[in-house]
């Protein structure tokens, strides 16, 4: 484990002022980092209120880390930006737990994937509300972005003895800590069902994933403060009697008698009477959930009572639906809310009961949604409602998660009077999109972004959510480019989650992204091919399309006709010169071959120079100089950055590995574009800026701002020193030198 410094401006300033040169030719410069405002966009998988401190609320996400909500400002504070590229797997949060007796303590079970290439998970533990963390590495993997990620919570703190924690895992059973999460031991007495084949599920791609133990819940009434709580429960995602109880502090376990079978438990909460409410689905979600139920269990009587709010759809269409989560008012056990999950017809719904589950009222049918903070959400329908919570200190405030953010009510009890429930999109600061491409030009908006799941935006104001793309709508915008001599002329290409032959997956804009017009058609035989990249000539007249795994295609008439590009291997990356419309470049990462076209991209010939084969783990890119004909920076992963001009290829010294790189506006009084880099320079892994073509470097990140996986970046074309980062799940981050 290791200790991380508190995330405070004072500490960052001291680090910047005291830090010596970070490597040969490097100096440290203080940057201020903020999110480009998009407002939501990713799956918030869980919410946890502290039971005794009003306003203390945390959120976890599948790929974007964890957040604490600051009640005073109404904004979410990111807690895991200190994770660097080597720790990017920890930005997926499997579970989050608070100490009921100590509001300062917060615990994260961190780990995104369980596949072979992913690293093991870790427990991140804080004694200052997430301002700093200590880390304990685990001997197994966690799956914060896998099936069942909206179930929970898998991690729990003993309310009687805060030193004791339990963690339910996907494939390695139940684990216990007796020292605030610093060390862990497996609970050997937990039933084998937790690791059985029935506690797994198949995702949409046909891959089988372990789900295992999805929640741990203590019964505080069974214990006394200062001693471990004797009675606790754990739920296994299995249709075979998945709820287990321990009466001896977790040493031995047995299935709860009389429980429903045939469905998987996914959430469990205790009410003020001592009863427990459970939500079920036939699958763990979010890929599938076609059936489900809500049940009440009364330990005092041993009785199970079904309180499912609504029956399955009766129109005979669709696959049915499940129940995402259930919550209860901390002060009134008769007030319950529950969410449907994957109910496509008519739509997902929040149900509320004020009589303990005997009768239910649909809430969203009597609701008004305020889209002011994030206007793009007006086109989104609440879905993947995997968690719902009632503020334990304000029953009018109910929050539910979606696949794109968090909605919060301010007047839930208006429903009881026949009134309207008002909802706000409570995502200020909680940015969880996955950017796929970024573009900054010398005219128009400072930034245009291509995003996963929510298409893309023209960012006229970096601090406010502005214009989502109009025209053809893609699930993902994967490729963006512009005409070097006409910077308002843009092209984009994308992907549809649900293929539609009527949607042409390439479009152009002549007004900097305000409006878009689809091309006449796509190249032939491209359906089903991989991620799409596009490049545009300096005059905007020509576009090259390349779907991963397929050939390169050229159009000179906005898609009315396409022709195969000659001379390029299928894996080559293509870029156009920003000045000369006839000149194009290409790089084949398989062998490092460089290719040149001087006939407008119709044919390419191999140049004499080569970078050498690039490790497939790294991104490759070509960065043509914005004002200089015939000059391009070759970004080649473990081969570094090279400056290419015709047959001359010059390696920039000191750059050992490049994760991402981009060009930006020159420094004042300088004609050389700024070069930004995420990678390893002189043995130091970080973020860097060079104002002199790579002869010297400034390090611009700090210990609290590493941002996990950086997939690409670009400098601002007009504002010197500003850089935009495309993260693996924290949205678009931009940095500027601190003034």
| Residue 163: band (very low, low, confident or very high) from pLDDT cuts 50, 70, 90 | very high
State which H helix or E strand residue 15 sits in: helix 9-18
For residue 527, pLDDT beyond 90:
no
Let me know: does 193 contact 242? Beta carbons within 8 Å: yes
What confidence tens digit (pLDDT) does each residue in 72-111 have? 999 999 999 999 999 999 999 999 999 999 999 999 999 9
- Please count the CA atoms within 13 angstroms of the CA of 209 that sit on its side-chain side: 29
Mean pLDDT calculated for residue range 254-261: 98
Residue 635: exposure state from Cβ atoms within 10 A (0-12, 13-18, ≥19): buried
For residue 314, pLDDT beyond 70:
no
For residue 242, pLDDT beyond 90:
yes
Mean pLDDT calculated for residue range 718-736: 97
What confidence tens digit (pLDDT) does each residue in 432-491 have? 999 999 999 999 999 999 999 999 999 999 999 878 999 899 999 999 999 999 999 999
What confidence tens digit (pLDDT) does each residue in 648-680 have? 899 999 999 999 999 999 999 999 999 999 999
Let me know: does 534 contact 493? Beta carbons within 8 Å: yes
For residue 11, pLDDT beyond 50:
no
C-alpha–C-alpha distance, residues 76 and 350, integer Å: 24
More confident residue, 549 or 565: 565
Q: Nearest Cα to 649, choosing from 685, 683, 711, 606?
A: 606
Per the prediction, the chain carries an average pLDDT of: 94
| Residue 1: band (very low, low, confident or very high) from pLDDT cuts 50, 70, 90 | very low
What percent of the chain has a predicted confidence (pLDDT) above 70? 95
Q: What is the dihedral of CA 27, 32, 33, 35, to 10 degrees?
A: -150
| Residue 412: band (very low, low, confident or very high) from pLDDT cuts 50, 70, 90 | very high
Active-site residues, by number, are 62, 453
What confidence tens digit (pLDDT) does each residue in 594-627 have? 999 999 999 999 998 889 999 988 989 999 999 9
The per-residue pLDDT for 648 is 85
The per-residue pLDDT for 462 is 96
Report all structural domains of the chain as residue ranges with CATH numbers, in order of start.
Answer: 39-425 (2.130.10.10)
pTM (2 d.p.):
0.94
What confidence tens digit (pLDDT) does each residue in 641-650 have? 999 987 789 9
Give the pairing of strands 506-509 and 517-518.
antiparallel
Tell me which long-range contacts 371-374 makes (C-beta under 8 A, separation of at least 24): 371/425, 373/39, 373/424, 373/425, 373/427, 373/428, 373/465, 374/38, 374/39, 374/40, 374/405, 374/425, 374/427, 374/465
Using the CB atoms, write b or e for 655-691: b if 16+ within 10 Å: bebbbbbbbbbbbeeeebbbbbbbbbbbebbbbbbbb
């Amino acid at each position: 484990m290791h200790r991380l410094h508190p995330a405070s401006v004072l500490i960052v300033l001291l680090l910047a002022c005291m830090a010596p040169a970070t490597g040969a030719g490097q100096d440290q410069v203080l940057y201020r980092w903020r999110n480009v405002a998009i407002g939501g966009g990713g799956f918030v998988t869980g919410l946890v209120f502290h039971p005794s401190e009003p306003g203390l609320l945390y959120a976890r996400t599948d790929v974007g880390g964890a957040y604490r909500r600051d009640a005073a400002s109404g904004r979410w504070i990111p807690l895991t930006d200190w994770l660097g590229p080597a720790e990017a797997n920890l930005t997926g949060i499997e579970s989050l737990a608070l100490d009921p007796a100590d509001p300062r303590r917060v615990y994260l079970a961190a780990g995104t994937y369980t596949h072979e290439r992913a690293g093991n998970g870790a427990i991140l533990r804080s004694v200052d509300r997430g301002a700093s963390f200590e880390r304990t590495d685990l001997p197994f993997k966690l799956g914060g972005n896998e099936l069942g990620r909206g179930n929970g919570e898998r991690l729990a703190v003993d309310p009687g003895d805060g030193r004791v924690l339990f963690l339910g895992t996907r494939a390695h059973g139940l684990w216990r800590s007796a020292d605030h999460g610093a060390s862990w031991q497996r609970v050997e007495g937990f039933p084998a069902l937790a690791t059985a084949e029935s506690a797994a599920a198949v995702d949409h791609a046909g891959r089988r994933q372990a789900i295992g133990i999805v929640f741990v819940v203590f019964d505080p009434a069974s214990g006394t403060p200062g001693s471990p709580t004797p009675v606790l429960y754990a739920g296994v995602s299995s249709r075979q009697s998945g709820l287990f109880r321990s009466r001896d502090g977790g040493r031995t376990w047995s299935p709860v008698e009389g429980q429903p079978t045939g469905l998987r438990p996914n959430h469990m909460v205790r009410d003020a009477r001592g009863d427990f409410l459970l939500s079920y689905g036939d699958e763990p979600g979010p890929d599938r959930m076609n059936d489900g139920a809500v049940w009440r269990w009364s330990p005092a009587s041993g009785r199970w009572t079904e309180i499912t709010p609504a029956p399955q759809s009766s129109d005979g269409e669709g696959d049915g639906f499940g129940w995402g989560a259930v919550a209860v008012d901390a002060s009134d056990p008769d007030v319950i809310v529950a969410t449907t999950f994957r109910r496509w017809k008519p739509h997902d719904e929040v149900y509320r009961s004020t009589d303990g589950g005997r009768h239910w009222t649909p809430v969203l049918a009597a609701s008004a949604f305020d889209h002011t903070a994030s206007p793009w959400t007006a086109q989104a329908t609440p879905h993947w409602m995997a968690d719902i919570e009632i503020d334990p200190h304000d029953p009018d405030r109910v929050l539910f998660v979606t696949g794109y953010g968090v909605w919060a009510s301010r007047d839930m009890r208006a429903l009881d009077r026949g009134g309207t429930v008002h909802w706000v999109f409570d995502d200020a600061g909680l940015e969880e999109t996955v950017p796929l491409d970024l573009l900054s030009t010398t005219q128009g908006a400072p930034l245009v972004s291509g995003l996963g799941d929510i298409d893309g935006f023209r960012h006229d104001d970096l601090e406010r959510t502005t214009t989502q793309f109009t025209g053809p709508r893609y699930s993902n915008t994967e490729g963006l480019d512009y005409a070097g001599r006409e910077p308002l002329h843009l092209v984009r290409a994308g992907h549809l989650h649900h293929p539609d032959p009527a949607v042409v997956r390439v479009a152009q804009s002549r007004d900097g992204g305000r409006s878009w017009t689809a091309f006449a058609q796509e190249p032939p035989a491209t359906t089903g091919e991989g991620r799409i990249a596009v490049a545009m000539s300096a005059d905007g007249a020509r576009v090259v399309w390349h779907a991963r795994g397929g050939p390169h295609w050229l159009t000179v008439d906005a898609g009315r006709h396409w022709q195969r590009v000659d001379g390029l291997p299928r894996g080559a990356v293509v870029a156009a010169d920003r000045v000369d419309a006839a000149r194009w470049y290409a790089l084949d990462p398989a062998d490092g071959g460089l290719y040149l076209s001087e006939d407008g991209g119709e044919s390419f010939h191999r140049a004499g120079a080569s970078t050498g084969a690039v490790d497939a783990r790294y991104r490759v890119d070509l960065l043509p100089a914005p004002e200089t004909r015939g000059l391009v920076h070759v970004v080649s992963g473990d081969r570094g950055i090279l400056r290419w001009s015709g047959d001359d290829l010059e390696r920039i010294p000191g750059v050992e590995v490049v994760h991402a790189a981009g060009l930006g506006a020159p420094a004042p009084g300088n004609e050389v574009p700024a070069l930004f880099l995420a990678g390893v320079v002189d043995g130091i892994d970080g973020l860097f800026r060079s104002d002199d073509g790579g002869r010297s470097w400034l390090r611009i990140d700090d210990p609290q701002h590493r941002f996990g996986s950086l997939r690409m970046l670009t400098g601002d074309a007009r504002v010197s020193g500003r850089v935009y980062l495309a993260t693996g799940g924290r949205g678009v981050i931009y940095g500027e030198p601190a003034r």
